[in-house]
Amino acid sequence: MAKLYFYYASMNAGKSTNLLQADFNYRERGMRTLLFTAALDTRSAAGTITSRIGLSAPATRFDADTDLGAVTLAAHRDAALACVLVDEAQFLTGPQIDQLAAIADDNGVPVLCYGLRTDFRGALFPGSARLLAIADTLVEIKSVCACGRKATMNLRVDADGRAIADGAQTEIGGNERYVALCRRHFRAALAEAR
């Protein structure tokens, strides 16, 4: 039975690397995959999933209006898919998560979603909230805070490295904009910023 998986972590924990490794494993065995990435993520080439360690693969871009179910079913009709892999899954909408669940449930294709659980304020992203609610399997990818504890939070920082406590939920960036911290250090940094 195919499942809907949610692999979540803080920034810079290796989510894209894990996704690309899973994709490689399928393709190495002659199995066909379909990769999705968020259109609003402009850190690398459009329509590409790129990891910080230099791995990359082409992907279909999605935005809030993309019918992932229709795109996936069309690809599956062309040639059977062994797996669907979604990067930046926090940017999915609730209905898109439901479309992906139907792909797993009704078509027997596993769906592996990779993304952040929370934003820079510690609030759930809508896509992550829906995945936490309905995914068959939840897997936390571990990252480490500078203190050595598990990093679970994403602190947004300015150009001088100072914490930012307010702003839009989504602001694309990498190491120059976000720092992965344990909850204790995250809370302290936000308190100082306020």
Catalytic annotation, residues = 88
- How far is it, in rounded angstroms, from Cα 4 to Cα 95? 14
Nearest residue to 43 (alpha-carbon basis) of 180, 172, 161, 159 = 172
- How far is it, in rounded angstroms, from Cα 4 to Cα 97? 9
- How far is it, in rounded angstroms, from Cα 109 to Cα 107? 6
Nearest residue to 35 (alpha-carbon basis) of 89, 87, 103, 80 = 87
Q: Is 133 helix (H, G, I), strand (E, B) or coil?
A: helix
Given a contact cutoff of 8 angstroms between Cβ atoms, the answer to whether 14 and 141 are in contact is yes
